[in-house]
């Protein structure tokens, strides 16, 4: 099939490459000339395991372009994978989706199935289908399908090819048949992905309900971890005991300093906003949002208390900047809030990340130009230099480089060996000679 993909972020590019890998001819469309040139040269604009390898392997079935008219005009399927960031009120910003739809309507020269992979409020697919059919040339029919993604950054390629399920929502046989044909190779060996066909609104809700449930699970276990720490229980032993219960499972029960990334923060806020609009107060989701906001800073407040309420002039090392290992994504990463506050309180920050230092510099630049900031920040390319002469170390991301680090170096290199571990990277018995604080232990 001839497939066009709008947007080359985590969703769009991974989807496009995966579809090419199972035999379709795919054109990936983006508005960024520099990104398109990179992809033409086999370079992925995002850090994602196995992605460049598959781009190279399937280069004969992949194209990258700025020319949306040529890409969309005779496509059998057009997949929309652009971002839907949150607005100030928590609602989803659909401007990028509507912009792509306008381009599709302008370009189409044949009947087509338009697929929304972007996470959108329930009912959006209905509105998009009506809008597209109002705008396309006479004699052309557009069918819209909802096809939410369930990939995790860092494992996105595997999560697409060996997905837990493929969910497709349609309201007509034409779109249903095309979508089944599109994904048929993934339902067979060696992938064997379950295929679920639903109504469009159910498909839209499955995405939000799934993400928000996982966010709830994380927030719940973080609250239990905070209580464990107060009562002398060990959250890792607690979660191990919980995980044996098949009704609960052991996924998303790792305590830490909160969730971040491109999905959970905005999707919890978007569903809560949607509930309010519809007169349904989603109190569990509101609590989840509140818990996560507090959890991001739980170790920072402990650190400040340990220094008698002031860290002005103290040197604080921060290990890990991305919201999770295996990705270069900084969206809603706990490191941003923590480092911003460290700088506000007058601390001198030494930061390390194996992937995202340059991106973080751009993120934090607004803070460095703030007249009220008392502290400074410097970046290093190894852990030894980062922690050298530091008064305390904060661990924000469980990169393998951090997890496998020789913990004896903390005592050897730091001015005062204090480690505040937001990801429970180390065994308690290995940290006996160090002032060590972790989550729920």
Cα–Cα distance between 181 and 62 in angstroms, integer? 19
Instruction: Write out the DSSP string of 243-287.
Output: HTSTTT-STT----S---SSSHHHHHHHHHHHHHHTT---HHHHH
Helix spans in 58-155 (H): 68-72, 95-107, 124-135
Look at strands 142-146 and 62-65 and give their pairing.
Answer: unpaired
190 cis-preceded (ω within 30 degrees of 0): yes
385 in Cβ contact with 405 (< 8 Å): no
Active site residue 288: no
**Distance from C-alpha of 281 to C-alpha of 45, rounded to nearest angstrom:** 39
In the sheet that holds 142-146, the strands lie side by side as: 62-65, 25-29, 2-6, 77-80, 112-116, 142-146, 166-169, 195-198
If one counts every other C-beta atom within 10 angstroms of the C-beta of residue 280, the result is 10
Residue with tokens 């990277």: 425
Do 275 and 282 meet the contact criterion of CB atoms below 8 Å apart?
yes
Report how far residue 26's alpha carbon sits from residue 7's, in angstroms, rounded to the nearest whole number.
Answer: 13
Count Cβ neighbours within 10 Å for each residue of 372-405 and write b for 16 or more, e otherwise.
Answer: ebebebebbeebeebbbebbbbbbbbbbebbeeb
144 touches 97 (CB < 8 A) = no
Of the residues 101, 112, 228, 263, only one is catalytic, namely: 263
List, by residue number, the catalytic residues: 263
């Amino acid at each position: 099939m001839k497939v066009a993909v709008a947007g080359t972020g985590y969703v769009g590019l991974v989807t496009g490459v995966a579809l090419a890998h199972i035999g379709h001819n795919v054109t990936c469309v983006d508005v960024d000339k520099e990104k398109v040139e990179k992809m033409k040269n086999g370079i992925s604009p995002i850090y994602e395991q196995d992605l460049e390898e598959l781009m190279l392997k399937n280069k004969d079935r992949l194209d990258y372009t700025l020319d949306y008219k040529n890409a969309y005009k005779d496509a059998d399927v057009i997949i929309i994978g652009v971002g839907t960031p949150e607005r100030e009120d928590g609602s989803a910003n659909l401007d990028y989706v509507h912009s792509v739809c306008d381009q599709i309507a302008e370009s189409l020269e044949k009947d087509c199935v338009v697929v929304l992979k972007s996470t959108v409020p329930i009912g959006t697919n209905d509105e998009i289908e009506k809008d597209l059919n109002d705008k396309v040339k006479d004699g052309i029919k557009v069918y819209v399908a909802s096809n939410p993604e369930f990939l995790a950054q860092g494992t996105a390629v595997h999560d697409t090819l060996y997905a837990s399920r493929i969910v497709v929502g349609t309201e007509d046989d034409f779109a249903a048949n095309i979508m089944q044909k599109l994904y048929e190779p993934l339902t067979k060996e060696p992938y064997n992905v379950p295929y679920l066909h639903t109504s469009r609104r159910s498909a839209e809700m499955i995405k939000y309900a799934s993400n928000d449930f996982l966010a709830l699970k994380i927030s719940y276990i973080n609250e239990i971890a905070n209580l464990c720490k107060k009562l002398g229980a060990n959250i890792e032993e607690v979660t191990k005991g919980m995980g044996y219960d098949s009704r609960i499972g052991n996924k998303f029960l790792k305590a830490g300093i909160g969730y971040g990334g491109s999905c959970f923060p905005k999707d919890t806020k978007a569903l809560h906003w949607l509930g309010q609009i519809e007169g349904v107060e989603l109190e569990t989701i509101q609590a989840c949002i509140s818990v996560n906001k507090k959890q991001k800073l739980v170790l920072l407040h402990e650190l400040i208390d340990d220094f008698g309420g002031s860290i002005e002039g103290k040197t604080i090392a921060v290990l890990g900047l991305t919201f999770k290992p295996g990705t270069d994504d900084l969206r809603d990463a706990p490191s941003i809030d923590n480092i911003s506050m460290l700088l506000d309180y007058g601390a001198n920050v030494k930061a390390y990340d194996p992937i995202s230092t340059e991106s973080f510099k751009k993120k934090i630049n607004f803070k460095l130009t703030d007249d009220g900031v008392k502290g400074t920040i410097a970046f290093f390319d190894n852990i030894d230099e980062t922690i050298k002469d530091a008064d305390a170390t904060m661990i924000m991301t469980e990169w393998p480089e951090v997890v496998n680090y020789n913990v004896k170096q903390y005592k050897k290199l730091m001015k005062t060996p204090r480690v505040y571990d937001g990801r429970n990277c180390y065994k308690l018995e290995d940290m006996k000679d160090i002032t060590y604080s972790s989550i729920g232990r």
